[in-house]
Chain A
Amino acid sequence: MKFLTTNFLKCPVKTCDTSNDNFPLQYNGEKCQLIQDESIEFNPEFLLNILDRIDWAAIIIVARDLGNKSLPPTKPSFSPELSDDDLIVLRDLHTLLLQTSIVDGEMKCKNCGHIYFIKNSIPNLLLPPHLA
């Protein structure tokens, strides 16, 4: 599961929807095994579209869960003419958001505490029958 996908996953337990703690899920940095997959090519326009859309606060939280404390507190913004420095920032974000994958690991809901697992890069958010 790519890092960016964490920006779209919440706890599936219905009663957690009324809390503010079901997103982002809390990733267990000790259990999460990360890989770099370089198959997606760098495309500044794609990155800008992604940045425009994402919940930056959630990106910071998940990055910190996974041991990356280097992100700026506010979402980077860019002028229409990208400078070399802008491209460096975008490349770093490309590496984090699109090339970093969690292959195996676990995450939990900060509201209900339920733990979900990631195996072979596939997160499993199916609930056991008593929670579904």
Chain B
Amino acid sequence: MLPTPYTKFDYDKVYEPSEDSFLLLDCLESELKFLDEKLKGKLSVVCEIGPGSGIVTTFMIQNSIPSLNSSIYLAVDINPWALESTIDTAARNNCKGRYLDTIQCNLTDSLKANEVDLLVFNPPYVPAEEVPQIPESKGEIDNWLDLALLGGKDGMVITNKVLENLDSILSSNGVAYILFCARNKPEVITAEMKKTGNWKIELVETRKAGWEVLSVYRFERQH
């Protein structure tokens, strides 16, 4: 089993690594061989949307996911605290000397189209009345944290934006790992995407976490 990164940050400001984060780590570990075969021998642009503490991106850097000496890591988050925490977590786990940049933006809106080879997204998946407004200042700490959790109707408002844009986010050979909770109805969403788009989608991991059932799906293009 690969080591879990050590994290230490103010969890009033960023999402504390929890069951969902650990499920993603386990998922990526189980996908090592798949990713190496799919992406080896070329540069991989790895992008995590919403890294929060930075645990997942740090885990990928530490363990050379998808492969050694051929990946650059971009972590994008709207929460400025999450970007600071991601840099901090990477530094605590001896990731200095690896290519990591953090970018403050909304989802992948500022990334050039079709450049991401490996996308990882643990979205705000909790169903809620609405998606919270983006705070106007860095100091509105509670609001930043809400943004990391609440996903509006069915908890899918933010995830849907990424799924709708997936074709323009991923490179031609790109692959995405996206986390869902059962209330997001991932089986309905993925069935619909397979019907209407050119997607190959597989359930990689699923786990009961307290009263939630979490799952990670892998998305890639049909070839």
A interface residues (Cβ-Cβ under 8 A, vs B): 1-2, 4-5, 7-12, 14, 17, 23, 39-41, 43, 45-46, 49-50, 52-53, 98, 121-127, 129, 132
Contact = CB atoms under 8 A, between A and B. Distances in A.
A125 B97 contact: no
Q: Which range holds the interface residue count of chain B?
A: 20 to 34
Given A9-B112, A49-B43, A52-B42, A125 B70 contact: no
A125 B42 contact: no
Given A45-B69, A49-B43, 4 more contacts: A12-B109, A46-B43, A122-B103, A127-B106
Interface of B: 41-43, 45, 69-70, 72, 74, 78, 80, 83, 96-99, 101-106, 109-113, 115, 134
Nearest to A11: B110
Q: Which of B42, B103, B115, B134 has the most CB of A within 10 A?
A: B103
B111 A9 contact: yes
Contacts of A40: 97-99
A12 B105 contact: yes
A34 to B, nearest CB: 15
A75 to B, nearest CB: 14
Contacts of A39: 96-97
24 contacts: A4-B72, A5-B72, A5-B101, A7-B112, A8-B74, A9-B103, A9-B110, A9-B111, A10-B111, A11-B110, A12-B105, A39-B96, A41-B97, A43-B69, A46-B69, A49-B41, A49-B42, A53-B43, A122-B103, A122-B104, A123-B104, A126-B78, A126-B134, A127-B109
B102 A122 contact: yes
A14 B113 CA distance: 12
B149 to A, nearest CB: 19
B77 to A, nearest CB: 10
A126 B104 contact: yes
Contacts of A45: 69-70
Contacts of B83: 122
Q: Which of B101, B105, B110 has the most CB of A within 10 A?
A: B110
Nearest to A51: B43
B129 to A, nearest CB: 20
A43 B105 CA distance: 30
Contacts of A7: 112
A52 B99 CA distance: 17
B106 A132 contact: yes
Contact of B42 (A2, A53, A122, A127): A53
Nearest to B98: A40
B60 to A, nearest CB: 16
B101 A2 contact: yes
Q: Which of A98, A123, A126 has the most CB of B within 10 A?
A: A126
A8 B109 contact: no
Contacts of B80: 122
